[in-house]
Amino acid sequence: MFNMGDDLMKQWTENWEKLMGEHLEKLVHNEKFINEMSKSIAATMTGKAMYSKLIDEQMAAMNLPSRTEMVKVLQKLTDIEERLIDLSERFEDYVEAQSRKPGAPEKKSRLKSRQKQNLEKSKAFVLNK
């Protein structure tokens, strides 16, 4: 009796899942539904743009920086950072190319390690004395 109830419940759940699955699958693939959804997203976004513009105008009236202006400043900073990365890469390439030329001065890192070696040698010399 109990098992029969379980089986019925299981069968009912499976049927419900299958029916719901088919119905919702059809719905999300339906072109008309997709178009309507797109229209509602468009309307929300247009509303958001208008609302943001209104807020920006109010901030400007109070002589305060608006969100749009702050974002612009952040984006300018990103541009400057990008430019700096580009320039430092070009500079590294230039230094690399120069150091490969015959008779080029030693690389700074190599020079430093040689200076360190010399310093250690002289320290050892002083200690031996």
Partner 1 sequence: MIGSLDTLVQHMDAVTEHFMRKTAENWGDYPRGVTPREEVWNAGNVSLLKFESPENAQGTPLLIIPSLINRWYILDVTEETSFIREFAARRPTFLIDWGYPGTEVGHLPLSHYYHKTIMRAIRQIRKMTGCEKVDMLGYCIGGTMAYVFSCLEPDLVDHLVLLTAPLSFKEAGILANYANTFPVEEFSASMEKMPGWMLAFSFQFIQPMGAYQKTRMFHQKCDNEGFKKLFNAMERWIADPVDFPARAYYELLTDLYQDDLLSQGRLETAEGRLVDPACRRARTLILNAAKDHIAPLTTTGLPVNDQGPVSQVTIPSGHIGITTGKNCKDACKKAIEFIMN
Q: Which of 107, 87, 111 is nearest to 96 (CA)?
A: 107
10 near partner 1, rule: CB under 8 A: no
Pick the stretch among 57-65, 68-76, 101-109, 114-122 that binds partner 1 (CB under 8 A): 68-76
- Cα 47 to Cα 112: distance, rounded to the nearest angstrom: 62
- Per CB under 8 A, 74 contacts partner 1: yes
Among 1, 3, 6, 28, binds partner 1 (CB under 8 A): 28
Instruction: Please answer whether residues 98 and 104 qualify as being in contact, where contact means their C-beta atoms are separated by less than 8 angstroms.
Output: yes
Our finding on whether 81 is near partner 1 (CB under 8 A) is: yes
Among 7, 8, 10, 24, binds partner 1 (CB under 8 A): 24
Q: Are 96 and 88 in contact (CB under 8 A)?
A: no
HEC profile of 34-48: HHHHHHHHHHHHHHH
Pick one of 69, 89, 106, 120: the residue that binds partner 1 (CB under 8 A). Answer: 89
**Three-point CA angle 69, 74, 78, nearest 5°:** 145
- Kindly list the residues in this chain that would bind partner 1 in the complex (CB under 8 A): 17, 20-21, 24-25, 27-29, 31, 34-35, 37-39, 41-42, 44-49, 51-52, 71, 74-75, 77-78, 81-82, 85, 89
